Amino acid sequence: MSQECLDSQQKGMVFNIQKFSVHDGPGIRTIVFLKGCALRCRWCSNPESQKAEPDLAFNAGRCLGVSKCGHCIVACPYGAIRLGDSDLPVIDRKACASCTDKACASACPAQGLLVYGKMRTVDDVLSVVEQDMAFYVRSRGGLTLSGGEPLLQKDYALALLREAHERHIRCAIETCGMVPEETIRAAAPYLRQVLFDIKHLDPEVHKAQTGMTNERILANFKILAEEFPNLPIRARTPVIPGFNDNAKTIKAIAEFLQPFTRVEYEMLPYHRLGTQKYHFLDRPVPMGDVQLNQKKMHVLQDLAQSILHERLHRPKDKVQSA
């Protein structure tokens, strides 16, 4: 069987496909979100992306109530759903952790129970992506792989990229960089842009807020920047209150990026758009009600740009030797 045929039938865990994005790579794009991530960032806006397995979500606002419905209780083979103190069902998360088919969600007529994550073939996913080929051609857009960390599902992500390349779909990727270096090298030839998170330079501070140190992340960034000189890279820093919203941290990141003259830089303000999903998954919201100071955000942006602007005016030999 040919590699193309093998790639098209490769399966992976996908939790969303979002069309008509204009913020995740050049042009109009379709974002394919893959499940699984090695990091546990406290500010993560996609908590449903973190685990590699499907996640069961409960939206109480949609539930019809057990007295009127109760189909989920009957459908669950593990006895993991019961009537609570109100008319709403209560889910025993431990009891349903090993469930793979999530029959309760299929039985829910109001979509009060949802499943984040479904095994899909490469061909299935790209058939959705190809529906908007006309928009990609006009805007020079295409497919963006996101997550989670899309490269954590190495075989599936590479199969998607290879097959998309065969179908003349331009590919970009959003990555936290916490993957083996051979995976980064294998993906790079199929990419038209990389959106790469640089969250903090101090490994221990990084670990305290994400669960992992950053040595591998920074090493993978350098691999992309140095070994693939024609690959456009945009480094991105999510600015998080109490983590990196200070001049010392942003200055360090900007100085780290300064020698990489072709790398673009973007700072993303912290938001709370993922808060509701934590409630759906019955998880605490790690960041609570904290908000980003917008005035401070603007000051930090000006600081980073002033440092990066200097590289445009440095002698070429000094930039290369940095």
Query: Is the pTM higher than 0.85?
Result: yes
Give all strands (DSSP E) within 102-199, no chain letters: 113-116, 118-121, 142-146, 171-175, 193-197
Average pLDDT for residues 41-66, to the nearest whole number? 96
Query: Which residues 6+ apart lie within 8 Å of 318 measured at CB?
Result: none
What confidence category does residue 62 fall into, taking pLDDT thresholds of 50, 70 and 90? very high
What confidence category does residue 318 fall into, taking pLDDT thresholds of 50, 70 and 90? very low
Burial (CB count <10 Å: 0-12, 13-18, 19+), residue 284: exposed
Residue for token pair 């009957």: 74
| Domain boundaries along the sequence of the chain | 3-51+118-321, 55-115
Assign domain 55-115 to its CATH architecture. Answer: 2-Layer Sandwich (3.30)
Residue for token pair 């546990």: 40
What's at 217, amino acid-wise?
I
Joined together, the tokens standing for residue 221 give 């960034």
Confidence check: pLDDT of 12 > 90 = yes
**79-118 pLDDT, tens per residue?**
999 998 899 999 999 888 888 889 999 999 999 999 999 9
What pLDDT, on the 0 to 100 scale, is given for residue 320? 38
- Other C-beta atoms within 10 Å of 2: how many? 7
**84 preceded by a cis bond (ω within 30 of 0):** no
What confidence category does residue 321 fall into, taking pLDDT thresholds of 50, 70 and 90? very low
Confidence check: pLDDT of 127 > 80 = yes
What pLDDT, on the 0 to 100 scale, is given for residue 315? 52
Confidence check: pLDDT of 65 > 90 = yes
What pLDDT, on the 0 to 100 scale, is given for residue 310? 76
Q: Are the beta carbons of 233 and 194 closer than 8 angstroms?
A: yes
**189-208 pLDDT, tens per residue?**
999 999 999 999 999 999 99
Answer whether CATH 3.20.20.70 is correct for domain 3-51+118-321. Answer: yes
